[in-house]
Structure 1
C-alpha cells in the first residue's frame, strides 16, 4: 500500500498545493530530537514528495521548514512540547494532525508500520489502522474526526 500512498500524495503535490520535499538534514534532526526513527512511509513521503501538508484538510505537520499547523512548526517541536500537558501520551507517539477541540492524530514511531493513535481530553487510544490506511482514508474523506471519537474507550 505504501507505493499507492506515495503516488496519491505525489499527485496532490503536482497541483502545487504542497511544500517541496524535506531535506535529509531536517528529517535526521527530527529523528534525533524525537529519539525514534520516522516510520519508513512517512520518511519516504517527506524526502521524496512533500514536507507535510498532505492528509486531511490542511494536512499533517512537516519536519523543520515544512508545513506547519496552528502554533506548531514541525513534528519535533510538537513532540517535545506536546499538545498533552498531562503526560498521558506514551513516548514514541508523535502528534501529526490537529483535528481541533484538543483532538489529535498521532503516529507510533516505535513501530515501522506507523500505527495510528488518537488523543482527546486526556485519553489516548489506538485507532486500529496504520499510517498508510489513515492517509488513504483521510485524503478520500472516509475517515473523519467523528470516526476517531467513536473508537474512544469509555472511562469510568
Structure 2
C-alpha cells in the first residue's frame, strides 16, 4: 500500500470510533526534539491529518503530547525523554509506540524514513521484518497480532 492508501484506511477506521483530533504540528515538533529524530513521514501524516494516536490495534498507538494515551503512558516523547532505554538494550532512535501487554512492545525506528518496526519482549529487542505501513495494515486486517510478533523473535 502507498502512504496515501494507508492514511485513507486508517481514516476510515477512525471514523467508526472515538479518536482524539489530529495533533498540532508544534506537538509533533516537540516530540521530534525530545526524541532527537524526525518522525517517519507516514506517522507524521497520521498524527497531523487523521488523529493524534488511538488508532490500530485495539486501544491504539500512543500519540504525541495531547493525544491518545495508553495505560500509564501519556505519549511517545514522555516514554523517550530519559533516553531510549537505560539498560542499553533498545538502540537510540527506536521509539515505543504500542504496548501489547505482558511486557511486549512494538517500536518504530525513527532513523528509517519507512519506519521499520521492532519488537521488545522481556528485555530482548529485534526487528519485526515489516515497516510502519505494513504493521498498520496488518493490525487493521487482524493478520498482525501479538502471537505473530513473538513468532518473529529470533531463536538463540
What's 2:19 paired with?
A: 18
Alignment partners' CA distance in 2, 1:19 and 1:66 = 6
* Equivalence for 1:53: 54
* Residue of structure 1 in register with 2:120 after alignment: 119
Residue of structure 2 in register with 1:128 after alignment: 129
Aligned residue in 2 for 1:30? 31
1:12–1:18 contact (8 Å) kept in structure 2: no
Off by >3 Å, runs of 4+ in structure 1: 81-85
Q: Aligned partners of 1:82, 1:126: CA distance in 2, in Å?
A: 19
Output the CA distance in 2 between the equivalents of 1:84 and 1:137.
27
* Distance in structure 1 (CA, Å) of the matches to 2:86 and 2:101: 16
Number of the residue aligned with 2:88: 87
For structure 1, the 5+ residue unaligned runs are none
Q: Aligned partners of 2:99 and 2:31: how far apart in 1? A: 19
- The residue that corresponds to 1:152 in the other structure is 153
Deviation readout 1:90-147 (Å, 9 max, x if unpaired): 0000000000000000000001000000000111000110000000000111101010
CA pair 150-16 structure 1, distance change in 2 beyond 3 A: closer
Q: Structure 1 residue 80: deviation in Å? A: 2.3
1:36 and 1:92 in contact (8 A); partners too: yes
In terms of mean alpha carbon deviation, does 80-89 or 59-68 score higher? 80-89
RMSD of Structure 2 on Structure 1 (CA): 1.4
Corresponding residue SS for 2:100: strand
Give the secondary structure class of the aligned counterpart of 1:138.
helix
Shift of 1:16: 4.3
Which residue is equivalent to 1:71? 72
The alpha-carbon deviation at position 17 of structure 1 amounts to: 1.7
Is the contact between residue 84 and residue 122 of structure 1 (CA under 8 Å) also seen in structure 2?
A: no
Aligned length: 155
